[in-house]
Amino acid sequence: MNKRIKIFDTTLRDGEQSPGASMNVDEKIRVAHQLEKLKVDIIEAGFPIASDGDFDAVKKVANAVKDCQVAGLARANKKDIDRAWEALKKGANPRIHTFIATSDIHLKHKLKKSREEVLEAAVAAVKHAKSYTDNIEFSAEDAVRSDVDYLCRVVEAVIKAGATTVNIPDTVGYAIPSEFGQLIKTIHDQVPNIDETVISVHCHNDLGLAVANSLAAIENGAGQVECTINGIGERAGNASLEEIVMAIRTRGDLLKYTTGIATENLYPTSRLVTHITGMVVQPNKAIVGANAFAHEAGIHQDGVLKEKSTYEIMTPESVGLSHNLLVLGKHSGRHAFKERIKELGYDLDDKNLEKTFVRFKSLADKKKEIFDEDLDAIIADEVIRIPDKYKLVYLNVSSGTVTVPTATVQMEVDGEMRQKAGFGVGPVDAVYETIAKITKTKSKLVRYSVSSITSGMDAQGEVTVRVEEEGKTVIGQGAHTDIIVASAKAYINAMNKLEYRKKKIWTDLP
């Protein structure tokens, strides 16, 4: 029988460490429910000691999720572990994930501790976590650059102390597959009590090898892989969940493993994470990129029309990508709308369905053909991106060849109505100046880009902005047929994220 590999999703923790990709509590809960639908085994919901917002998010996710384990991250000290447990304890299936670095580089420059001190701290942390739960994961941060014999000693000691999963991270994405596979094999073969634990791996993608390294680890004894949706994460990101899962599924002839993932939910999950984080997937990204199943060359198209397997190694349907591109128009009713939303993988309650239907109708009045991507943008705008503090109520702009661009903006700020007017060098600048006056923000706009969601003159424009304040960066997005409105929405989305992000205390995070 094929070995079952556990999928540990860290989109909400390591994924959220991507520059700009912060999520608020409600957005995290939404992603967590989608991950539950995807049937991941473990959801790492955050790092409770990092901020009150993170604590709250881990607590709410742990309480909301019933079908997966929920992990909270903690450094190897009592305070972090107590805080993590406080957040997790009422959940159906909590896991404490504690870590400390084991490489000499980290010991010398970051921790300023000896190998013996780190070993003692690791064991003490696991023992302390064990006073709360038996479900304990220990990570040896920067394992790949650690001395192998010392790493094996640490692994043996933490298993003895009660770690039920031992994670071997390639924290800086330095390993190559043959080397990483060998490291896992060494741990597997040399640590005497290794059978009492699950070996996990956590690979970063600095050299573009995170998925290859994870697969090499599986072939050498790893039973759990840590990964993220769309591969988001610190720096170049983490191993991409969808790529690992589909490699295992597609190459079952060579890789004798299975996962519990409901692969038809991969594409909807990818889209949800994109809409919430603002981290856009490159078109040629494997599995979930816009071109992943598009055949351009005539010779390929001809082959696929004759027999799909000529150029397709997996079906678009197997990852949840529907072929139904042209969907609805202005005469479509509630029923057709509801069905299409369901086919796209969204599970909206009546209130949100109604809200999005009204917006769909208004779009259909302006635009002849409504595509799946248009519906995605509406749902992202109306339902997925949840405003905390700032809401756009009203916007009026005048600009042209003979007027100074002027904007009047009305916003709700913490429930209170505020209105102001302002000028700018162009209409977007006027809107941004006015929003900045209302929010009194000190942030700086560092990038602005606009693209059309679908083709055609009546297409919706999607604006993405990158905003920075005191070294913290966030990404905001907004969509509308009027790009000035889309620009305002993107900026306000970024303001909301910044408010949330500012509350985080990123200390010596990995």
Selected from 99, 257, 267, 346, the binder of ligand KIV by CB under 6 A is 99
Q: Which is closer to Zn ion, CB of 91 or CB of 173?
A: 173
Report yes or no: 497 and 28 within 8 Å, Cβ to Cβ.
no
Q: Please tell me the distance from the alpha carbon of residue 303 to that of residue 344, in angstroms, as a whole number.
A: 28
Among residues 148, 178, 210, which one has the least CA distance to residue 14?
Answer: 210
Q: Which is closer to ligand KIV, CB of 93 or CB of 167?
A: 167
Selected from 169, 320, 422, 478, the binder of ligand KIV by CB under 6 A is 169
Q: Which does 103 bind (CB under 5 to 8 A by kind): Zn ion, ligand KIV, none?
A: none
Q: Please tell me the distance from the alpha carbon of residue 216 to that of residue 404, in angstroms, as a whole number.
A: 61
Q: Which is closer to ligand KIV, CB of 14 or CB of 433?
A: 14
Report yes or no: 491 and 467 within 8 Å, Cβ to Cβ.
yes
Query: How far apart are CB 66 and ligand KIV at their closest, in Å?
Result: 25
Q: Which does 381 bind (CB under 5 to 8 A by kind): Zn ion, ligand KIV, none?
A: none
Query: How far apart are CB 249 and Zn ion at their closest, in Å?
Result: 25
Q: Which does 99 bind (CB under 5 to 8 A by kind): Zn ion, ligand KIV, none?
A: ligand KIV
Q: Please tell me the distance from the alpha carbon of residue 197 to that of residue 190, in angstroms, as a whole number.
A: 14
Q: Which does 139 bind (CB under 5 to 8 A by kind): ligand KIV, Zn ion, none?
A: ligand KIV
Which tokens belong to 39? 């049937």
Query: How far apart are CB 35 and ligand KIV at their closest, in Å?
Result: 18
**What does the per-residue mask of binding to ligand KIV show for 70-89, with x meaning CB under 6 A?**
--------------------
Q: Which does 128 bind (CB under 5 to 8 A by kind): ligand KIV, Zn ion, none?
A: none
Dmax over CA atoms of the chain, in Å, equals 80
238 burial via Cβ count (<10 Å: 0-12, 13-18, 19+): buried
Which tokens belong to 412? 């709700």
**What does the per-residue mask of binding to ligand KIV show for 257-286, with x meaning CB under 6 A?**
------------------------------
Residue number, nearest CB to Zn ion:
14
Selected from 7, 8, 14, 374, the binder of ligand KIV by CB under 6 A is 14
> Which residues between 235 and 294 bind Zn ion (CB under 5 A)?
none
Query: How far apart are CB 401 and ligand KIV at their closest, in Å?
Result: 54
Report yes or no: 429 and 435 within 8 Å, Cβ to Cβ.
no
User: Tokens 């397997």 — which residue?
Assistant: 309
Query: How far apart are CB 498 and ligand KIV at their closest, in Å?
Result: 24
Q: Which is closer to ligand KIV, CB of 91 or CB of 233?
A: 233
Query: How far apart are CB 144 and ligand KIV at their closest, in Å?
Result: 9
Among residues 192, 260, 250, 178, which one has the least CA distance to residue 223?
Answer: 260
Query: How far apart are CB 171 and Zn ion at their closest, in Å?
Result: 6
Among residues 391, 370, 380, 394, which one has the least CA distance to residue 456?
Answer: 370
Q: Please tell me the distance from the alpha carbon of residue 433 to that of residue 422, in angstroms, as a whole number.
A: 6
Query: Which secondary structure element, helix H or strand E, spans residue 303, and what is its range?
Result: helix 298-306
Q: Which does 8 bind (CB under 5 to 8 A by kind): ligand KIV, Zn ion, none?
A: none
The piece of 117-125, 166-174, 353-361, 459-467 that touches ligand KIV (CB under 6 A) is 166-174
Query: How far apart are CB 238 and Zn ion at their closest, in Å?
Result: 6
Q: Please tell me the distance from the alpha carbon of residue 156 to that of residue 319, in angstroms, as a whole number.
A: 39
Q: Which is closer to Zn ion, CB of 162 or CB of 231?
A: 231
The piece of 165-173, 249-257, 345-353, 400-408 that touches ligand KIV (CB under 6 A) is 165-173
Q: By CB under 6 A, is residue 139 in contact with ligand KIV?
A: yes
Q: Please tell me the distance from the alpha carbon of residue 21 to that of residue 10, in angstroms, as a whole number.
A: 13
User: Tokens 């991250």 — which residue?
Assistant: 73
> Which residues between 6 and 65 bind Zn ion (CB under 5 A)?
14
Query: How far apart are CB 155 and ligand KIV at their closest, in Å?
Result: 14
> Which residues between 189 and 248 bind ligand KIV (CB under 6 A)?
202, 204
Q: Which is closer to Zn ion, CB of 6 or CB of 271?
A: 6
Backbone angles phi, psi at 29, to 5 degrees: -65, -40
Per-residue burial over 1-39, b if 16 or more Cβ lie within 10 Å, else e, is eeeebbbbbbbbbbbbbbebbbbbbbbbbbbbbbbbbbe
Q: Which is closer to ligand KIV, CB of 206 or CB of 264?
A: 206
Torsion angle defined by CA atoms of residues 158, 159, 165 and 171, in that order, rounded to the nearest 10 degrees: 40
Q: Which does 141 bind (CB under 5 to 8 A by kind): ligand KIV, Zn ion, none?
A: ligand KIV
Which tokens belong to 46? 């955050």
Q: Please tell me the distance from the alpha carbon of residue 236 to that of residue 132, in angstroms, as a whole number.
A: 35
How many residues of this chain bind ligand KIV (CB under 6 A)?
10
Report yes or no: 62 and 95 within 8 Å, Cβ to Cβ.
no
Question: How many CB atoms within 10 Å of residue 508?
Answer: 10
Q: Compute CA 5 distance to the chain's CA centroid, rounded to the nearest angstrom.
A: 21
- The two beta strands, 198-203 and 165-170, are parallel
Q: Which is closer to ligand KIV, CB of 99 or CB of 371?
A: 99
Q: By CB under 6 A, is residue 167 in contact with ligand KIV?
A: yes
What residue ranges bind Zn ion (CB under 5 A)? 14
What residue ranges bind ligand KIV (CB under 6 A)? 14, 99, 139, 141, 167, 169, 171, 202, 204, 510
